[in-house]
Structure 1
Amino acid sequence: MASAPPPPALTEAQFHDSRGMTVNIIAWVFTGIAIATVFLKLFARSQITKRLGWDDFFIFLSLALSIIAAAFVSYSVTLGLGRHTAAVIADHGADGVVLTAKWQILGFPFNIGAFSFPNISIAILIVHLLDRYPLRTNLLYGMVTVQVVIALVSVVLIFVQCTPVEMLWNPNTPNAKCWDPAVFNNFNYFVSAYTTVTDIVLAVVPISVFWKLQMPFSTKLGVCIMMGLTLLSAIVTIVKATYLHLFTDRTDPLWNVVPLVIWGLIEQNVVLVAACIPTLRPFFHKATFRSANSRSGTDNSRSRSGSRFKLSSNPKGRASSVSELALREDAKYETRAKGYDAESNNSQQGIWRTMEVDISSGKERDSERGENRKFRDIVPSSLRT
C-alpha cells in the first residue's frame, strides 16, 4: 500500500491551533456526570433496596470501559491529538504522530463497549417493570444481544482491516495492505443504525405501557420522560454516525478525527446516564421527603419513606389522586385485588402488580366500585426498600 500523503503546509495560526482542551473538557465533564449517576444508582440499590442485580453489573462494566476510553483519549491529547498532523511532526517528528494515533485508536474498543453494554441493563429493567410476556421479553433480550454482538464485531474489524495492524497508526508501514475504507465505514454505519433502532425500541416499549396507566398526568409524564431518555442517546448516535468516515481519514488524522472522538465520548456517557436515571427515583424521593419532613416537623415514620403511593382525598373522603410511583416501609393500605393483601406483600418485598386501590368507605365504596385505579408492575422488587 502506498504511504500516506505528506500533510499540507500550515499557516502560523494553524500551527498553534489545538482542539485538545475541548476534547479533555468534554471527556471528563461527561465522564464525571456518568460516574456520579452510576454511583448514585449503585448506592440506591445497595443501601436503600439492599440488593444488586445483573443490570447493575453491566452498568458498572460500562462505566469502567468509559473511564478507560476517556483516559486513552486524554493521554492522546497530551501527545498531540487535536493538533494538525504537520504541527505534531514539526514538534515531535513522525514517531510522535504514530504514538498519538496508536493510543487514540486503542481507545476505540473501550468506547464501543461503553455505549453497548448499558442497553442490556435497560432491557433488564424494562422486563422487570412490565408484565412478563415471554415474546416481548425474548425480543428485547434478543435485540440488545445482537446489538452488543455486532458492536464487538466492529471492534474486531478495527484491527483486522490492515495487515500488519501497525498500518492503522503508521501509514508508512512497509508492505502493508488494508481493505477498502468503505468496507469498515459501511459496517459502522450499520452498527450505528441498529443501535439507534435499539435505543428507540427501549424507549417506546415502556412509554407505550406507562402512558396507558391511570395516574395523574404529571406523574405519567415524568415516568415516560425517565424511561424515554434512550431517545437522547439515539440522537447522539445519529450525529456521531455522520463523522464515522473520519476514522479512516489519512489527510490530517490527528485534527480531522476530533469530532468523531468527541461524539463518541458523549455517546458512551449519555447512554450510561439514560440507563441509570429511572432507578434513581427511590433515592430522590427519600432525600426529598427527609428534607421536607425535617422542616415541617412531621412524624419520623414518614421521614423513613423512600418512595410511595401518595393518596389524597377531598373533604368528602373521595380519592382525588394516585401518584408518585412509590413505596413506604411502613405503608398500610386497604386493597382489593384478587384477594391480594398489601401488607403481607410489602413484608415479602414482592413485585407490585395489578391492584385496585380502594380508599373509600360505606356507600361511597359501592358507588366507586369500578373506578379503582390499576397499576401494572410500576415498581419491581429490586427497587423496594
Structure 2
Amino acid sequence: MAASQSYPNRSGTAKGINITASIVMTFFAIWRLIVRFRINPRMGWSDYWIILALITALTGHTWLLVSAFSGEGRVDADPYVTFEVRNRVFFLQHIGGALNMYAMFFAKLSICAYLLALNFSRAYRYIIISSIVLICICNFTLPMLSHWAACTPVSARWDRSFKPDEKKCWPFIVHTYITYIQSTTNVLTDILYAAAPIIYLRQVQLSTYTQWGVRLVFLAALFGTGVSIAKPIHFAQLQKTFYGIPNFLYISVTTTSLSTAENSICIIVACLPPLRRTIDNLLKRTLPQSILEALGATETPSRSFTLPTFYTNQSQTADSKFGSERESTAAILGNEEFVEDASGKIVKTTRVTVTREFKDSVEFGRDGQSPTVDRICP
C-alpha cells in the first residue's frame, strides 16, 4: 500500500512554464533578428546583446528543466527524495538561476543599446548611460559576487554535506539584500525604459495611431515588473526553508518559475521595439479597413524592409563614428518621417503629396504611392 501511495509533485508545472517560456522567447528573438538582418546584415549592438541574452537564457532554462526532471517539485516524504537528490537539485538550481540573472543583464543592455541608437536627445542619452552603470553594478557585479564569492569552497553554496567548520559563507541576510537590490533595479529600469521614450516622444508631432503603437511597445516593459516584485518576496520565504523547513524542493518551483518567466519576458520586451513597424504592417494587411480607419491607421503598409531615415550633417558625422551599428529610428516610429535638428533631437517633418494629373490618369510613385516631398515643420 505504501509503495503505491502518490505524493504531491509540482515538477509538471515547472516543466510546462520552462518549455513554454523558452519557445515564446526564442520565437520573438529569432523574428527580431531576421527583421534586423534583412534591414542591415551587420545589425547593431542591441542585436548582439540579444543573441547573447538568448543563448544564456536557453542554457539557464535547460539547467532548470533538468532540475525539474531530477526531483524539483517533490515533497520530502516522497521516497524518491534522498540526500543526493536534494544536492543535485540544489546544484542545478544554482547554475540555472545564475544564468537566468545574467540573461536578464544582457537583455537590459540590449534595450539600452537600442534606446541609445534612437538618439532622442543629449539629456535622454545621459539618463540611459546612467542606467547602464546601475545595471552593471546591481544586475551583474553583485549577483556574480553572491553566486561565486559568497562561500568558501564555492560548492558549499549548494552542497549540504559540508559541516559548519568546513565552510565559510556570508550571512543569509547578505543574499536577501542582493536579491532585493537586483529586483528593485529591475523595477526602476523597467519604468524608466517604458516612460522615458513615451514622455520624450510627446514633444514630437506624430499621428495618434503611431503614438499609441509606440506607447504599447514600451509599456510592455511593465509586464516583467510584477514578476520582479514577486520574486524577492518569495525568495525570502524560500531561503528560510533552505535551512530545515520541510518540502524545499516542492516550494522552490515557484521561485524557479518566476526566474524563468522574468528573463523570458525581458528578452521578449527587448525584441518588441525593433518589431513595431513589422507588426504594424502585418496589422494593416490583416485587419479590416473599417477598424484601421477607426484607429487612424490608413497609411499603406510598407512593402520593403528598407527604413527611411533623414539626417542632418551632424547626425551623418555621428553615423560615421558608430558605423553600421547605428540603428534606424524609423524602426520604432514607423512610416513617420523625421530629421535631427542641430542639437541632435528628433523633429517631425510634414509630408506634402504632389500629383501630376493627366486626362485619364494620375502618375503614382513606386509601390503605388504618390510621390512625396518632405519638409521640416516650423
TM-score with structure 1 setting the length: 0.72
Name 2:188's counterpart in structure 1.
197
Identical columns (%):
21
Q: Secondary structure at the match of 2:352?
A: coil
Name 1:270's counterpart in structure 2.
265
Aligned Cα root-mean-square deviation (Å): 3.5
**Superimposed CA distance per residue, residues 9-59 of structure 1 (whole angstroms, 9 cap, x where no aligned partner):** xx9999621111111111111111110001111000111344400000111
Q: State how many pairs are aligned.
A: 315
- Mapped partners of 1:13, 1:151: distance in 2: 46
Name 2:129's counterpart in structure 1.
141
- Contact 2:38–2:305 (CA under 8 A) maintained in structure 1: no
Q: Secondary structure at the match of 1:359?
A: strand
Within 5 Å, give how 1:195-234 maps onto structure 2. Answer: 195-234=186-225
| Consecutive unaligned residues in structure 1, runs of 5 or more | 1-10, 293-300, 310-323, 339-350, 362-371, 376-385
Name 1:378's counterpart in structure 2.
none
Does residue 157 (structure 1) correspond to residue 156 (structure 2)? The answer is no
Q: Secondary structure at the match of 1:16?
A: coil
- Contact 2:210–2:334 (CA under 8 A) maintained in structure 1: no
| CA-CA distance at 1:148 after TM superposition | 2.8
- Mapped partners of 1:83, 1:191: distance in 2: 29
| Consecutive unaligned residues in structure 2, runs of 5 or more | 288-299, 309-331, 355-374
- Contact 1:117–1:148 (CA under 8 A) maintained in structure 2: no
Name 2:318's counterpart in structure 1.
none
1:28 to 5, 19, 26: 19
- Deviating beyond 4 angstroms after TM superposition, the runs of 4 or more aligned structure 1 residues are 11-15, 285-292, 306-309, 335-338, 372-375
Q: Secondary structure at the match of 2:279?
A: helix
- Contact 2:152–2:169 (CA under 8 A) maintained in structure 1: yes
| CA-CA distance at 1:284 after TM superposition | 3.1
Q: Secondary structure at the match of 1:182?
A: helix
Name 2:347's counterpart in structure 1.
354
Name 2:294's counterpart in structure 1.
none
- Mapped partners of 1:201, 1:165: distance in 2: 36
**Superimposed CA distance per residue, residues 295-344 of structure 1 (whole angstroms, 9 cap, x where no aligned partner):** xxxxxx977334889xxxxxxxxxxxxxx94349xxxx9x9999xxxxxx
- Mapped partners of 2:40, 2:281: distance in 1: 12
TM-score with structure 2 setting the length: 0.73
Matching residue's letter, 2:149? V
- Contact 1:282–1:307 (CA under 8 A) maintained in structure 2: no
1:308–1:259 Cα change, 3 Å: same
Moved more, 169-178 or 192-201: 169-178
Moved more, 124-133 or 229-238: 124-133
Name 2:248's counterpart in structure 1.
253
Does residue 119 (structure 1) correspond to residue 127 (structure 2)? The answer is no
Name 1:102's counterpart in structure 2.
91
Name 1:57's counterpart in structure 2.
48
